[in-house]
């Protein structure tokens, strides 16, 4: 079966190719009669425009990329749904790319995307990303970028984040009010902007409640689960914290493992809370207190910002949106 092209339609209808093209694009300069005829035949023959030809000619692909650091996380999958809802609604395709928390993979993806000529990019940085050098080609080529959740300082891109400082502050206060006075902070990644804000919120809460922040109570961790468990065990045994604040979900999971291995019970011996969008946190043993980020909304807003940029091309008008998280209090922080 041959592919139906405009040429084929034109031949069968005794019209020129441009006329058929314009008819299908509902141009004002084509008579209703012709439009009807063209559409009828197109439908009958199941005509499908060739997107490569169209993109080549128009120099845009109606496709945006969503670059996320981790695919098996509820947070990012909710983001994805929010993005797709908005994008599909406006006729855009979304291609999802995962950096696996690696700066090398992120850089490679970014190169591919530039080559691939997506119209715009939504990106949340990998754990290893510390600056925006690898994104400068987007600025040069005037490809709009919106950063979300994990942003980068000093880059001319709009962003959508959640109120990390405030939610972290509130969560820390919750621990303090539940009689914790030696609260450890499990930090993730090299220099992630959102984690830094969470750290600041935690430190400020300690200060405000006369528990002075202590760098010895900050433990920096990476991706490897087994390694994290070991480090957390040693940290607990050495520093004897009465609570741990996990800055990302999987560090809480590692803490559950660590506690099991050294026979500590949560929350009796150690209280625990974490940033997490896992709705099954309520079935953990014990149920985990979580700070839940507005993931779907972050996705929606990011996509909306990006699509506006695509429409207006005012790349210099930078907007920074912030949406509130919510805390679900559960047994892991109970007295």
Residues 6 or more apart whose CB falls under 8 angstroms from that of 154 comprise 132
Take residue 46 and report the two structure tokens written for it: 């199941």
The answer to whether the beta carbons of residues 135 and 308 sit under 8 Å apart is: no
Query: 11, 12, 31, 279: which one contacts DNA (CB under 7 A)?
Result: 31
Residue 19 binding: pick among a second copy, DNA, none (C-beta 5-8 Å cut-off by kind): DNA
Q: What is the DSSP letter of 154?
A: T
* Closest CB 108 distance from a second copy, rounded Å: 9
Q: Which residues, 87 to 146, sit near a second copy by CB under 8 A? A: 93, 95-96, 98, 100, 112, 114-117, 140-141
Q: What is the DSSP letter of 288?
A: P
Q: Which is nearer to a second copy, 11 or 282 (CB)?
A: 282
* Closest CB 145 distance from DNA, rounded Å: 22
Return the H-helix or E-strand segment holding 235. helix 225-239
Strands in 40-81 per DSSP E: 63-68
214: left (phi over 0), alpha (psi -120 to 50) or beta: beta
Q: Which is nearer to a second copy, 3 or 335 (CB)?
A: 3
Query: 74, 103, 315, 318: which one contacts a second copy (CB under 8 A)?
Result: 74
Q: Which is nearer to a second copy, 104 or 320 (CB)?
A: 104
* Closest CB 32 distance from DNA, rounded Å: 8
Q: Which residues, 33 to 92, sit near DNA by CB under 7 A? A: 33-34, 47-50, 53-54, 56-59
Q: Sign (positive/negative) of CA torsion 299, 304, 306, 310? A: positive
Residues 6 or more apart whose CB falls under 8 angstroms from that of 197 comprise 164, 165, 168
Among the listed residues 226, 230, 248, 227, the one whose alpha carbon sits nearest the alpha carbon of residue 238: 230
3-state class (DSSP) for residue 206: helix
**What string marks each residue from 252 to 271 as x (binds a second copy by CB under 8 A) or -?**
-x--xx--------------
* Closest CB 76 distance from a second copy, rounded Å: 8
Cα angle for residues 307, 93, 149 (degrees, 5° grid)? 55
3-state class (DSSP) for residue 239: helix
5 binds DNA (CB under 7 A): yes
3-state class (DSSP) for residue 160: strand
Residue 77 binding: pick among DNA, a second copy, none (C-beta 5-8 Å cut-off by kind): a second copy
293 binds a second copy (CB under 8 A): no
Residues near a second copy, by CB under 8 A: 1, 3, 48-53, 55-56, 61, 71-72, 74, 77-78, 80-81, 84, 93, 95-96, 98, 100, 112, 114-117, 140-141, 253, 256-257, 280, 283-287
The binding site for DNA (CB under 7 A) comprises 3, 5-7, 14-19, 21-25, 28-31, 33-34, 47-50, 53-54, 56-59
């Amino acid at each position: 079966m041959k592919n139906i092209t405009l040429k084929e339609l034109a031949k069968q209808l005794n019209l020129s190719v441009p006329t058929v093209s314009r008819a299908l694009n509902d141009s004002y300069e084509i008579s209703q009669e012709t439009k009807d005829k063209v559409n009828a035949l197109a439908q009958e023959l199941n005509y499908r425009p060739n997107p490569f030809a169209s993109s080549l000619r128009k120099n845009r692909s109606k496709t945006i990329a969503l670059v996320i650091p981790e695919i098996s996380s509820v947070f990012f999958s909710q983001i994805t749904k929010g993005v797709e809802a908005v994008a599909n609604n406006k006729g855009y395709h979304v291609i999802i790319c995962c950096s696996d928390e690696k700066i090398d993979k992120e850089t490679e993806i970014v190169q591919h995307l530039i080559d691939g000529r997506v119209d715009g990019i939504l990106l949340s940085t990998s754990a290893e990303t510390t600056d925006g050098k690898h994104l400068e080609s987007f600025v040069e080529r005037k490809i709009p970028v919106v950063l979300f959740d994990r942003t980068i300082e000093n880059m001319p891109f709009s962003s959508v984040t959640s109120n990390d400082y405030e939610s972290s502050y509130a969560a820390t206060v919750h621990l303090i009010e539940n009689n914790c006075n030696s609260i450890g902070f499990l930090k993730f990644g090299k220099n992630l902007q959102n984690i830094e804000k969470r750290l600041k919120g935690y430190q400020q809460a300690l200060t405000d409640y006369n528990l002075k922040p202590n760098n010895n109570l900050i433990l920096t961790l990476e991706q490897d689960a087994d390694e994290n468990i070991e480090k957390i065990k040693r940290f607990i045994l050495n520093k004897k914290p009465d609570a741990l604040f996990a800055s990302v979900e999987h560090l809480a999971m590692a803490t559950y493992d660590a506690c099991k291995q050294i026979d500590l019970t949560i929350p009796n011996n150690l209280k625990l809370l974490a940033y997490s969008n896992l709705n099954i946190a309520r079935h953990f043993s014990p149920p985990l207190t979580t700070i839940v980020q507005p993931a779907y909304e972050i996705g929606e807003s990011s996509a909306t910002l990006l699509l506006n940029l695509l429409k207006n091309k005012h790349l210099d008008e930078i907007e920074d949106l912030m949406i509130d998280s919510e805390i679900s209090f559960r047994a892991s922080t109970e007295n």
